[in-house]
């Protein structure tokens, strides 16, 4: 999973609804926004594990002798073995080839939510939905999975970074500027997983539809990011 870092200014939240979710969701969406900026995408780590240094007879007593008899700064005997020199050389080569992150156009999708339920939330499935004003059949859904900690009656801003734009197809009418707003926007909470292991899920949303995306999003260890795209 690529780690994304947003390099753009923050914009104010757009108010969306009140504290009570109309679909019965325990998380009420109180604000949302999206923005475009440059994001850094680190390249895959191609480094290899260096060979372990061979054990020499001096290793067994090195630490004891260093503490008792050796002067400060004595050389580690493993550094003089063939494997030790190979490991040092390999490490130097890998460091010189360390991949530098590249920047690409990206998007930040944010939603501020309030936990109106009585239980602590740990996982949230949500989507930022865009409907073209001039062509309502054109609906784009950007879905995300977030690992969070939201206590009852507390608010949290969910943030998801993606290279996917709000929409990649738009009608001629929208391009001509006939609509005041090309898209209407809304955030939908699809599934909430609680700290006690219980789950709330929206009735017309299917986990099976995103199962492959969830497997992909969780296939690598979670880093500093809050959310990943599905």
> What is d(CA 216, CA 46) in angstroms, rounded to the nearest whole number?
20
Direct distance between the N- and C-terminal alpha carbons of the chain, in angstroms, rounded to an integer: 11
- Domains of the chain by residue range: 5-41+106-229, 57-96
% residues pLDDT > 70 (the chain): 57
Q: To the nearest whole number, what is the mean pLDDT of the chain?
A: 76
CATH topology of domain 5-41+106-229: Immunoglobulin-like (2.60.40)
> What pLDDT does 71 receive?
59
DSSP state letters, the chain: ----EEES---PPEE---SS-TT--SEEEEEEEEEEEEEEEPPP----PPPPPPP-HHHHHHHHHHHHTPPTTPPPGGGGSHHHHHHHHHHHHHHHTPPPPEEEEEEEEEEEEEE-SSS-EEEEEEEEEEEESS-TT-EEEEEEEEEEEE-TT-EEEEEEEES--S-S---HHHHTT-SSSSEEEEEEEEEEEETTS-EEE-TT--GGGGHHHHHHHTSS---S-SEEE-
pLDDT of residue 17: 40
- Return the higher-pLDDT residue of 52 and 183: 183
The model's confidence at residue 93, banded by pLDDT at 50, 70 and 90, is low
pLDDT tens-digit series, residues 98-150: 556 677 788 999 999 999 999 999 999 999 999 988 888 889 999 999 999 99
Which pLDDT band holds residue 219 (cuts at 50, 70, 90)?
very high
pLDDT score at 96:
59
As a residue count, the chain comes to 230
What was the pLDDT predicted at 157?
A: 96
**pLDDT tens, position by position, 9-59:** 333 444 444 344 567 889 999 999 999 877 666 555 554 544 545 555 555
**Tokens representing residue 47 in the block:** 């480094």
- Residue 130 CA, chain-centre distance (Å), reads 21
């Amino acid at each position: 999973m690529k780690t994304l870092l947003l390099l753009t200014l923050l914009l104010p939240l757009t108010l969306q609804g009140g504290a009570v979710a109309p679909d019965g969701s325990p998380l009420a969406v109180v604000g949302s926004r999206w923005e475009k900026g440059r994001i850094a995408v680190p390249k895959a780590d191609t480094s290899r594990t260096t060979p372990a240094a061979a054990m020499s007879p001096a290793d067994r007593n090195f630490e004891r002798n260093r503490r008792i008899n050796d002067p400060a700064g004595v050389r580690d005997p493993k550094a003089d073995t063939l494997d030790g020199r190979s490991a040092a050389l390999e490490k130097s080569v890998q460091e010189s080839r360390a991949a530098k992150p590249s920047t690409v156009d990206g998007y930040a999708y944010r939603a501020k939510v309030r936990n109106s339920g009585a239980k602590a939330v740990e996982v949230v499935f949500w989507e930022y939905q865009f409907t073209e004003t001039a062509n309502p059949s054109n609906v784009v859904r950007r879905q995300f999975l977030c690992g969070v900690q939201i206590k009852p009656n507390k608010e949290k801003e969910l943030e998801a970074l993606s290279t996917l734009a709000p929409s990649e197809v738009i009608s001629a009418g929208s391009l001509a500027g006939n609509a005041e707003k090309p898209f209407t926007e809304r955030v939908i909470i699809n599934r909430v997983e609680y700290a006690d292991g219980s789950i709330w899920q929206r009735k017309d949303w299917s986990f099976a539809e995103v199962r492959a995306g969830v497997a992909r999003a969780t296939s690598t260890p979670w880093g500093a990011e809050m959310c990943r795209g599905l």
